Amino acid sequence: MDKSFFRSLFSPELEAPIFIEGLPGFGNVGKIAAQMLVNHTHAKRFAELYSPFFPDYVIISKSGICRPPRYEFYAASTGNPHFIILTGDAQPSLEDVTAHYQLCDEILDLAEKHGSRFIITIGGVPTPSQEREIYVAATSDNLAMKYMEKGAIIYGKGRIMGATGLLLGLAKNRGWEGICLLGATTGLRADREAALSVFNFLTRSFETDKKS
Amino acid sequence: MDKSFFRSLFSPELEAPIFIEGLPGFGNVGKIAAQMLVNHTHAKRFAELYSPFFPDYVIISKSGICRPPRYEFYAASTGNPHFIILTGDAQPSLEDVTAHYQLCDEILDLAEKHGSRFIITIGGVPTPSQEREIYVAATSDNLAMKYMEKGAIIYGKGRIMGATGLLLGLAKNRGWEGICLLGATTGLRADREAALSVFNFLTRSFETDKKS
Amino acid sequence: MDKSFFRSLFSPELEAPIFIEGLPGFGNVGKIAAQMLVNHTHAKRFAELYSPFFPDYVIISKSGICRPPRYEFYAASTGNPHFIILTGDAQPSLEDVTAHYQLCDEILDLAEKHGSRFIITIGGVPTPSQEREIYVAATSDNLAMKYMEKGAIIYGKGRIMGATGLLLGLAKNRGWEGICLLGATTGLRADREAALSVFNFLTRSFETDKKS
Amino acid sequence: MDKSFFRSLFSPELEAPIFIEGLPGFGNVGKIAAQMLVNHTHAKRFAELYSPFFPDYVIISKSGICRPPRYEFYAASTGNPHFIILTGDAQPSLEDVTAHYQLCDEILDLAEKHGSRFIITIGGVPTPSQEREIYVAATSDNLAMKYMEKGAIIYGKGRIMGATGLLLGLAKNRGWEGICLLGATTGLRADREAALSVFNFLTRSFETDKKS
């Protein structure tokens, strides 16, 4: 395998799905929030991404069954709006900068093929405080304002690392719109509470959008 | 050399050979066990793999003769079943993740060309205890159970690094079946005893399979 | 994105523009001096370079707006001579040697397309002294002498790292002429004074060139 | 520049030249010995190799003139035998394993085009003793014996790193013959004495070969 490849499980029928990313990272906020959304929206896994940029090990289940690390794409088409939700086992090494750029573009290609033009990336951000703030960065002033009015704090600290930042930036370069939501977390351990905060913020936000 | 290449020494006649991998690694369990199998099955070296992903040095024999590092493929076609046995001098650097993926796929291509659809990878696993346990991970529940009944312990610890893990995982993605056997070893030095345990387990297992 | 790409904003009309580079580096001397030149010459941004070799994060403004890191090209065509000025957010990792070579050549291709055959790269050089010396290295003895007569000190210390050195060296290999100006700086923090020294040296030098 | 390229200065007329490599390395033994051979044989520089695998800096002379790092090829066609001598500024980073393999093959291609089928690589080897031993590794037993009879000691320590090892190993894979001579050196600083020992050993050896 010298290139990434997608394994298609079924072909979902989606209308202008919102593309949501939650991968392993700080406090695992993104990955846990994405899994909550998969459960909440009864999303079905429709594609897997295998890549030579992923770590060179296999993952072994408790019953001893192996599989290579992968990204998983879930489709939710029963509610409104539709969603594509991306989660996965591991990100490429932070040092492999080119890998990050390449994977992000392959992922955006897939989402675009299914009609996505709006992206929401989810991650964690370390804070010393105990508050459960949600921070937002966006592709435009309007969007940043909109989510600020919903209760998020503008993230003005300079950088967002890895897929959570890069997917948003590269999507913007393609003319998409989107936001990044960062849940404040105090530790490096999996932080279910921070993930729950982001999940609740997101689902409330979708409800309000539908009513307006 | 900007690509790996196989040097073919002769073309073995093999029927559905089991593909066995034992490369340098923890306690050198895999490499030593593979060499025992080569001797036991009177396997002949039929191909060598040279690669720009291998370390950038040459290996010098005691008599001063040089050669680049390589993987070696041995064919055993006198017994039942037939085997292809892979061993070698060194693995790519652990940091060169892409190299691992690419080499593993090139190796599986070669084995597939000779009719292999079943893989056994061999490695070592560090344990504090003095017991000579054999751990097993597999591509399916059935296989894991089968080798558990033969005396191996299910390996449920999460990850298997390097070629020993990745070959099994990528073979599974191709629809092969297979197992990984990990010999418990207490040290980083070459552990002949651990290798012998795995070798004995394997040869006993092949005997039982033939009788059944 | 597996390749760098230029986004063109408009097509400037330039005659034999001098190509000036000032990217982040020691004391940020190059980047700050380049920004001073952009302001001084009323240069307009006409192209952006995005690359998988840039860091894998997005840059977030104070108002929460994201964008991927990039290089920016400015065109100044109102004065005499014309200029193309390159500045940007970040350089590729120092370890990614190949990336540096590739980016530098892509940049020189762009400048050459617009008629550039003379390059001035700007950087900082650490010195313990408090003097504001300007050091010069050049593609030829004549040029080194010329700028020495203008007050710069010959830089004979062996190496110039990163784009500031490599752009000059690769331009020389293409048959261009050019110089590198290094402002002495005592610290790693952004050193506006050192940048101002280089800026003043450069603008004085352009004035003298016009009169002669 | 995303590929290495050769700049040809003139086209030498060579008959079965011996290819000699001496690049920067331990004690700089190889590079210094190669320079001695260039002077001794009145060899002329006929080609330069530039590569994105070389360090990302430019080299500045004492008079302030820059150039990218490069390998240099010298042709000696006045004596008997003819030589191609390779020396240069710097080797690729030791971590960039693939670069080493690729460069070595490009270099052997050039030498082969000019009729070389015999290679002598020169390096240094650290020893605690004060003796000026010369160690030899070879592509065949005959060659190792031949140079042992000339006074060299068989090098049986396992590995030779970098271009000095890899060029010999890859040349062997192409069917060339050749040797590696390692001069014992006690330090990391440029060791002219060790280089002189190898140089003397080599020139004596060529004289004896001619008489026989």
pLDDT attached to residue B7? 94
Taking Cα atoms as reference points, which of C105, C210, C101, C198 lies closest to residue C151? C198
The three-state secondary structure class of B73 is strand
- Kindly report the length of chain B: 212
Taking Cα atoms as reference points, which of C79, C4, C78, C90 lies closest to residue C47? C4
pLDDT attached to residue B131? 79
- Report CB contact under 8 Å: C58, A159: yes
pLDDT attached to residue B209? 84
The three-state secondary structure class of B64 is coil
pLDDT category of residue B186 using cuts at 50, 70 and 90: confident
pLDDT category of residue D192 using cuts at 50, 70 and 90: very high
Tell me chain C's radius of gyration from C-alpha atoms: 16
Subunits with 3+ C-beta pairs closer than 8 A to B: A, D
- B141-167 as b/e, with b when 16 or more CB fall inside 10 Å? eebbebbeeeebebbeeeebbbbbbbb
Distance from the Cα of A1 to chain C's closest Cα (Å) equals 17
Q: When comparing pLDDT for B132 and A108, which is higher?
A: A108
pLDDT category of residue C144 using cuts at 50, 70 and 90: very high
Q: When comparing pLDDT for A206 and C1, which is higher?
A: A206
Minimal-distance CA residue of chain A relative to B141: A65
Per-position DSSP letters for D86-143, written without gaps between them: EEES-PPPTT-HHHHHHHHHHHHHHHHHTT--EEEEEEEEE-SS----EEEEESSHHH
Is pLDDT of B2 > 80?
Answer: no
Distance from the Cα of C95 to chain D's closest Cα (Å) equals 9
Is pLDDT of D95 > 90?
Answer: no
Distance from the Cα of B50 to chain D's closest Cα (Å) equals 10
- Report CB contact under 8 Å: B170, A67: no
Residues of chain B with C-beta less than 8 angstroms from the C-beta of A63: 141, 144, 154, 156
- Global confidence as pTM: 0.87
Determine contact, residues D144/B60, Cβ cutoff 8 Å.
no
- Report CB contact under 8 Å: D169, B64: no
Secondary structure of B152-204 as H, E, C letters:
CEECCCCEEEHHHHHHHHHHHHCCCEEEEEEEEECCCCCCHHHHHHHHHHHHH
- Report CB contact under 8 Å: C105, D61: no
Which chain C residues touch A if contact means CB-CB below 8 Å?
A: 1-2, 7, 50-68, 92-93, 95-96, 99
Distance from the Cα of C166 to chain A's closest Cα (Å) equals 21
pLDDT attached to residue B188? 66
Is pLDDT of A188 > 70?
Answer: no
Is pLDDT of C188 > 70?
Answer: no
Average pLDDT of chain C?
Answer: 93
Mean pLDDT of B139-165: 93
Residues of chain C with C-beta less than 8 angstroms from the C-beta of D92: 97
Determine contact, residues C52/A53, Cβ cutoff 8 Å.
no
Residues of chain D with C-beta less than 8 angstroms from the C-beta of C154: 63-64
DSSP character at residue A17:
P
Give the tens place of pLDDT for each residue, D42-74. Answer: 999 999 999 999 999 999 999 999 999 999 999
Distance from the Cα of C114 to chain A's closest Cα (Å) equals 25
pLDDT attached to residue B15? 96
- B202-211 as b/e, with b when 16 or more CB fall inside 10 Å? beebbeeeee
Distance from the Cα of B106 to chain A's closest Cα (Å) equals 8
- Report CB contact under 8 Å: D64, C159: no
Minimal-distance CA residue of chain B relative to D154: B64
pLDDT attached to residue A28? 93
Is pLDDT of D188 > 70?
Answer: no
Distance from the Cα of C63 to chain D's closest Cα (Å) equals 36
Interface C-D, measured as beta-carbon pairs within 8 A, has a size of: 95
Tell me chain D's radius of gyration from C-alpha atoms: 16
Is pLDDT of C97 > 90?
Answer: no
- Kindly report the length of chain D: 212
Mean pLDDT of D78-99: 90
- Report CB contact under 8 Å: C65, A101: no
pLDDT category of residue D38 using cuts at 50, 70 and 90: very high
Average pLDDT of chain B?
Answer: 93
pLDDT attached to residue D126? 87
pLDDT category of residue D129 using cuts at 50, 70 and 90: confident
- Report CB contact under 8 Å: B169, A67: yes
- Report CB contact under 8 Å: C62, A159: no
pLDDT attached to residue B96? 83
Is pLDDT of B128 > 90?
Answer: no
Query: How far is residue C75's CA from residue C154's CA, in Å, rounded to a whole number?
Result: 29
- Report CB contact under 8 Å: D58, C141: no
- Report CB contact under 8 Å: D162, B56: yes
Kindly state the percentage of chain B with pLDDT values over 70.
Answer: 99
Residues of chain A with C-beta less than 8 angstroms from the C-beta of B98: 2, 52-53, 99
Residues of chain B with C-beta less than 8 angstroms from the C-beta of D136: 64
Q: Which of A101, A161, A168 sits opposite C66 (nearest CB)?
A: A168
Which chain D residues touch C if contact means CB-CB below 8 Å?
A: 1-2, 7, 50-68, 92-93, 95-96, 99
- Report CB contact under 8 Å: B68, D170: yes
pLDDT category of residue B110 using cuts at 50, 70 and 90: very high
Query: How far is residue D94's CA from residue A17's CA, in Å, rounded to a whole number?
Result: 47
DSSP character at residue B65:
B
Distance from the Cα of A92 to chain B's closest Cα (Å) equals 9
- Report CB contact under 8 Å: D156, B52: no
pLDDT category of residue A114 using cuts at 50, 70 and 90: very high
Q: Do chains B and A touch (3 or more CB pairs under 8 A)?
A: yes
Is pLDDT of D88 > 80?
Answer: yes
Give the tens place of pLDDT for each residue, A19-50. Answer: 999 999 989 999 999 999 999 999 999 999 99
Enter the tokens of residue B91. 């693995």
Q: Tell which of B6, B60, B94 to mutate to test the D interface (max D CBs under 10 Å).
A: B60
pLDDT attached to residue D119? 98
pLDDT attached to residue B85? 98
